[in-house]
Amino acid sequence: MNKPRVIFLAGALLLAAGAFLFLHHPDVSFPQAGGKPGMGASGFQVTGISEKGNVWMDSDESRPVDIKTLIFVSETHLHSDAQTAWEFFFEGFLFTALPGSAIRFTPQTRELILEKGEFYWERKLTGQKVEISLFSGGNIFKLSAAGRIRLGGRALEIWNYSGQLDFDFDGKLYRLDERRYMNSRDGGRVPPAALFPAPPFISPEAETLALTNPNDTIVQFKWKNVQGARDYVLKLYPSSLRENLLLSKVVAENAVTLDIMPFIEYSELHWEVAAFDAARRIESAPARMGVITISSSLLKKGMLPQPPRIEVGSLSVSGEMVLIKGGTDPNAQLFIDGVAVKLDGEGRFIHTISYKSIGVKEIVFRAVAPSGLEAVLKKQVTIFEE
């Protein structure tokens, strides 16, 4: 083989190797359809904005973000109003920014600063440790695998769900192990609180409801108990971005029945549950979100939830004892003179009351529907001396 041919082949191989490295380098990408840069071009991309809201690029709120055409060429401030949540992808992490959150991103230095608001993060792509900043440059925050942070008034609340978290805040170094919570307002006087793991099973995880009758809006939410947890907090949203909290309910069991009638204007309902420390008011790691899709509704628009019925079939008096038989809606909670009464699958009950004195006695029945509406019925009986 002559010398010029060898040189040509060597050059071709070098060019091919260079092209391969260029195409597969994580910092290199090409514009996608619609002019939107690939994730690797700047390491940052806005990926979702709640349906009826805007994310703004200026303090006057005259330049809304357009996901399809957004390209970062210089330092950019992004913020949303008090009703708008949004999500963005940064260096392999997916962030959900709750309403009223603000960030600053500089593409030249690939610097992301969370300036205010509340954020959830979760690693979606494997890779090296990723650093961001809090409030301003210098407060370095090395992201763990998943967590939640709230920034306001130069104070931090951090829920570290998974992995080790290291950060520098106001010149002080911190380290949070997995499943730990801290609040900087404690001033370091209170050690980080332990968090419960997320409930490992939820139901309904994904369910479609066709609402044809009022009772179709009754939904039972269930989850597997977390060892050591006594209370749970259940939250309901119209989307996975958590932009509008429809319901927050603390329960002392691993199931709750709710009437979703007040929320049927939404096509989807997203819900999550977490163990809850009632004494310290601390939520633990949430389970993955479940979703209820409302495919159709023949319910009349504006139809309101109704209080449950209460039927008393018989009141039998025998000496100081009263035997009561009756029924109510099977999904309701029934109380007789403040005492919870167990119902069968059809809402029927049998209950006895014992009195220590004679005379006219008033019995108060109270039934509470999953919607929170309640019905009260009062009955009188007379206790005679035997």
Residues 273, 316 share a domain: no
Question: What pLDDT is recorded for position 124?
Answer: 93
Does 3 map to a domain?
no
Please indicate, yes or no, whether the overall pTM of this predicted structure exceeds 0.85.
no
Residue 6 lies in a domain: no
Q: Which residues contact 146 (CB under 8 A, 6 or more apart)?
A: 120, 121, 122, 123, 161, 162, 163, 285
What is the 3-class SS of 337-378, one letter each residue? Answer: CCEEECCCCCCEEEEEEECCCCEEEEEEEEEECCCCCEEEEE
Collapse the DSSP code of 386 into the 3-class scheme (helix H, G, I; strand E, B; otherwise coil) and give the result: coil
320 and 346 both lie in a single domain:
yes
Task: At 280, give phi and psi (nearest 5°).
Answer: -100, -5
* Structural domain includes residue 305: no
Is residue 178 domain-shared with residue 215, that is, in the same domain? no
Structure confidence by residue, pLDDT tens digits, 35-76: 333 444 448 999 999 987 899 998 888 899 988 888 888 899
Work out how many domains the chain is built from and give that number. 3
pLDDT of residue 24: 40
The verdict on 255 and 320 lying in the same domain is no
Burial state string for 192-206 with b = 16 or more CB within 10 A and e = fewer than 16: bbebbbbbeebebee
Question: Which pLDDT belongs to residue 30?
Answer: 31
Which residues are CB-neighbours of 132 under 8 A, at least 6 positions away? 90, 111, 112, 113, 114, 140, 141, 143
> Which pLDDT does position 95 carry in this prediction?
97
Domain assignment of residue 38, given as a range: 31-194
Tell me, yes or no, whether 167 lies in a domain.
Answer: yes
Q: Domain check: are 50 and 122 in the same one?
A: yes
- Same domain, yes or no: 166 and 250: no
Name the domain boundary from 194, 217, 250: 194
pLDDT at 29: 35
The answer to whether residues 268 and 316 belong to one domain is: no
- Is 159 a member of any domain? yes
Residues 181 and 39 in one domain: yes
Give yes or no for a cis peptide into 204 (omega within 30° of 0). yes
Q: How far apart are CA 274 and CA 342, in angstroms?
A: 27
Same structural domain for residues 72 and 101?
Answer: yes
Are 152 and 265 in the same domain? no
Instruction: Supply the pLDDT for residue 302.
Output: 63
Beta carbons of 49 and 65 less than 8 angstroms apart: yes
State whether residue 217 is helix, strand or coil: helix
218: domain CATH number is: 2.60.40.10
Question: How confident is the model over 120-146, as pLDDT tens digits?
Answer: 999 999 877 899 999 988 899 999 999
Q: Which of 143, 174, 194 is the last residue of a domain?
A: 194
Residues 165, 47 share a domain: yes
Surface-to-core class of residue 240, CB atoms within 10 Å of its CB (0-12 exposed, 13-18 middle, 19+ buried) = middle
Query: Which has the closest alpha carbon to 43: 57, 58, 29?
Result: 29
Give the CATH number for residue 189: 2.60.120
Cβ neighbours of residue 192 under 8 Å, at least 6 residues apart?
176, 177, 180, 181, 182
Does residue 336 share a domain with residue 251?
Answer: no
Residues of the chain where predicted confidence (pLDDT) is lower than 70: 1-42, 187-188, 300-304, 386
166 part of a folded domain: yes
The pLDDT, as a whole number, for residue 383 is: 85
Phi, psi of 343 (to 5 degrees): -110, 155
Q: Which of 297, 327, 358 is the last residue of a domain?
A: 297
Q: Is 5 within the bounds of a domain? A: no
CA–CA–CA angle 97, 56, 51 (5° rounding)? 60
pLDDT (0 to 100) of residue 13: 43
pLDDT at 386: 64
Among 81, 94, 84, CA closest to 44? 94
Residue 1 belongs to some domain of the structure = no
